[in-house]
């Protein structure tokens, strides 16, 4: 079978790597892919957001299954288009993608289907939002309604900061029309958890719950990023808490998806806060997490192609789905300056040495230039290791990180600290 992976980050490299292990898959295409994916298949220079060009490519090359990595093509309706043309694609239609594409829609969905989440208020003009700040007290959680490349959540510790946030998002339009509406959300405290489910319209299966590290620097300091590392499993999640999350959050969400007549088979990513009052949904995503995918797919024992293919047939129940009991840690190596501005084109050394040390090195922002692998993004590599215990997996991942270098590189040294401290 021929598979097309849409996207070119660490998540997509991991998806392509896992698919490459399937006996059903003979050809992998990635659009646009990266230097790591180029070792597994053919990278085609089609933009991940150009759904018409992707459709043409899939038709011309008789692709059997398209798997969409990032959210933007889902929100803009790639699944609707492929389905209309009778092509098999894994992902939700544009209505389903609103779970991520509109924070207002997602919050109203949670309210409608009684899914535990923090309190919220929606504003569609800046005067009303500014008045609410004067009447409220910090910390304020202010979110742009639409997609903002992971930067649309602002946690403000003072009234002045909150005023500035409203001005930047709603008046100065830092995120364009994504900031036409805002949400103010109750500030929730606790431990964060990423739970990722594959849903086929009837049944669902859970990947191993994991934890991301959003802040740039050790000790959860510095600005929010796309994610600086992840690990799984997460020891705070015991059986009774997992059952509570299944019943109150996952199953209510999936039955809401059915009631809303959302089409397609896809991923529901539950960004949760485990508060003292119980688990609460912080956000939904309609795709695999990044870097969470780098730890949960190595832990998946089942053939990923079978999972995704059968999900598009609404036939997940036929798949013998199994997760490993081992642990996995992924440490991201980023370009100096990320998540702010950074330089590109730095030559990367030591990847083969990290692999010899037992790591899987997933490429995020890399490209091939005259036979050399160079940096081309903020998050550059995800150095990942699996082992029987989390301590061993984490030590092994760092042994790999220590062999890799490029000018200006940095990574967090404390990935998995919450679990390892216990």
User: How many angstroms separate the CA atoms of 48 and 148, rounded?
Assistant: 16
Using omega within 30 degrees of 0 as the cis cutoff, is the peptide bond preceding 130 cis? no
User: Least distance from C-beta 130 to ligand AMP, angstroms?
Assistant: 20
Using the minimum distance from each CB to ligand AMP, give the nearer residue, 208 or 272.
272
Angle at which helices 10-20 and 304-312 cross, to 10°: 100
Check binding of 271 to ligand AMP (CB under 6 A): yes
User: Least distance from C-beta 285 to ligand GLY, angstroms?
Assistant: 5
Using omega within 30 degrees of 0 as the cis cutoff, is the peptide bond preceding 422 cis? no
Q: Which does 12 bind (CB under 5 to 8 A by kind): ligand AMP, ligand GLY, none?
A: none
Q: Which does 227 bind (CB under 5 to 8 A by kind): ligand GLY, ligand AMP, none?
A: ligand GLY
Among 188, 207, 208, 281, which residue sits at the site for ligand AMP (rule: CB under 6 A)? 188
- Site residues (CB under 6 A) for ligand GLY, limited to 199-228: 212, 227
Check binding of 100 to ligand AMP (CB under 6 A): no
User: Least distance from C-beta 55 to ligand GLY, angstroms?
Assistant: 25
Q: Which does 153 bind (CB under 5 to 8 A by kind): ligand GLY, ligand AMP, none?
A: ligand AMP
Q: Which does 201 bind (CB under 5 to 8 A by kind): ligand GLY, ligand AMP, none?
A: none
Strand 215-217 relative to strand 221-224, pairing:
antiparallel
Strand partners, 43: 30
Give the count of beta carbons closer than 10 Å to the beta carbon of residue 67. 27
User: Least distance from C-beta 11 to ligand GLY, angstroms?
Assistant: 7
| Sign, CA torsion 285/291/295/301 | positive
Check binding of 72 to ligand AMP (CB under 6 A): no
Output DSSP code: residue 299.
Answer: T
User: How many angstroms separate the CA atoms of 400 and 258, rounded?
Assistant: 44
Q: Residues 387-404, buried b or exposed e (16+ Cβ, 10 A)?
A: beebeebbebbbbbbebb
**Residue 58 · residue 66 · CB < 8 Å:** yes
Q: Which does 145 bind (CB under 5 to 8 A by kind): ligand GLY, ligand AMP, none?
A: none
Check binding of 282 to ligand AMP (CB under 6 A): yes
- Find the radius of gyration of the CA atoms of the chain: 21
Among 71, 100, 185, 203, which residue sits at the site for ligand AMP (rule: CB under 6 A)? 185
Site string for ligand AMP, 335-364 (x = CB under 6 A): ------------------------------
User: How many angstroms separate the CA atoms of 253 and 271, rounded?
Assistant: 13
Output DSSP code: residue 300.
Answer: B
Count of positions on this chain that bind ligand AMP (CB under 6 A): 15
> Per the structure block, which two tokens stand in for 345?
């084109």
User: How many angstroms separate the CA atoms of 124 and 199, rounded?
Assistant: 33
User: How many angstroms separate the CA atoms of 112 and 98, rounded?
Assistant: 15
**Residue 12 · residue 294 · CB < 8 Å:** no
Using the minimum distance from each CB to ligand GLY, give the nearer residue, 211 or 335.
211
Check binding of 153 to ligand AMP (CB under 6 A): yes
Place of tokens 């990942």: 384
Q: Which does 409 bind (CB under 5 to 8 A by kind): ligand GLY, ligand AMP, none?
A: none
User: Least distance from C-beta 141 to ligand AMP, angstroms?
Assistant: 4
Place of tokens 């997992």: 242
Check binding of 141 to ligand AMP (CB under 6 A): yes
User: How many angstroms separate the CA atoms of 111 and 47, rounded?
Assistant: 36
Q: Which does 148 bind (CB under 5 to 8 A by kind): ligand GLY, ligand AMP, none?
A: none
Using the minimum distance from each CB to ligand GLY, give the nearer residue, 151 or 391.
151
Check binding of 214 to ligand AMP (CB under 6 A): yes
User: Least distance from C-beta 180 to ligand GLY, angstroms?
Assistant: 22
Using the minimum distance from each CB to ligand GLY, give the nearer residue, 5 or 63.
5
- Site residues (CB under 6 A) for ligand GLY, limited to 257-316: 285, 289-290, 292
Q: What are phi and psi of 92, to 5 degrees?
A: -85, 160
Summarize as ranges the residues that interact with ligand GLY (CB under 6 A): 212, 227, 285, 289-290, 292
């Amino acid at each position: 079978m021929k598979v097309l992976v849409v996207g070119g980050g660490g998540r997509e490299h991991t998806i392509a790597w896992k698919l490459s292990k399937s006996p059903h898959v003979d050809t992998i295409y990635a659009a646009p892919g990266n230097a790591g994916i180029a070792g597994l298949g053919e990278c085609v220079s089609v933009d991940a957001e150009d759904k018409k060009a992707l459709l043409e490519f899939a038709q011309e090359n008789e692709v059997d299954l398209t798997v969409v990595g990032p959210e933007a093509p889902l929100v803009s309706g790639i699944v609707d288009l492929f389905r209309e043309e009778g092509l098999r694609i894994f992902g939700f239609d544009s209505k389903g993608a609103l779970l991520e594409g509109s924070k207002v829609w997602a919050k109203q969905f949670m309210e409608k289907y009684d899914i535990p989440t923090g309190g919220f208020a929606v504003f569609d003009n800046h005067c009303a939002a500014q008045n609410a700040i004067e009447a409220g007290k910090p910390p304020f959680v202010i979110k742009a309604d639409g997609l903002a490349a992971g930067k649309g959540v602002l946690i403000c510790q003072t009234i002045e900061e909150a005023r500035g946030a409203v001005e930047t998002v709603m008046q100065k339009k830092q995120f364009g029309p994504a900031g036409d509406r805002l949400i103010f959300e109750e500030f929730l405290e606790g431990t964060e958890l990423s739970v990722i489910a594959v849903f086929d319209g009837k049944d669902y299966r859970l990947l191993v719950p994991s934890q991301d590290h959003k802040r740039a620097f050790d000790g959860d300091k510095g600005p929010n990023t796309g994610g600086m590392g992840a690990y799984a499993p997460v020891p705070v999640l015991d059986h009774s808490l997992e059952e509570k999350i299944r019943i109150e959050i996952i199953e209510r969400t999936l039955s809401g998806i059915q009631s809303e007549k959302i089409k397609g088979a896809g991923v529901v990513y539950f960004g949760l806060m485990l508060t003292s009052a119980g688990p609460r949904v912080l956000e939904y995503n309609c795709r695999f997490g990044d870097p969470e995918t780098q730890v949960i797919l190595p832990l998946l024992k089942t053939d990923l192609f079978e999972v995704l293919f059968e999900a598009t047939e609404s036939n997940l129940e036929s798949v013998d789905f199994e997760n490993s009991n081992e642990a996995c840690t992924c440490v991201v190596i980023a370009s100096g300056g990320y998540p702010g501005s950074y330089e590109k084109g730095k030559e990367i050394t030591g990847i083969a040495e990290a692999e010899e040390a037992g790591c899987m090195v997933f490429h995020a922002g890399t490209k091939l230039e005259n036979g050399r692998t160079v940096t081309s993004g903020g998050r550059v590599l995800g150095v990942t290791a699996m082992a029987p215990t989390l301590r061993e997996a984490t030590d092994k991942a760092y042994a790999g990180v220590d062999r890799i270098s490029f000018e200006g590189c940095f990574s967090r040294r404390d990935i998995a600290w919450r679990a390892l401290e216990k």
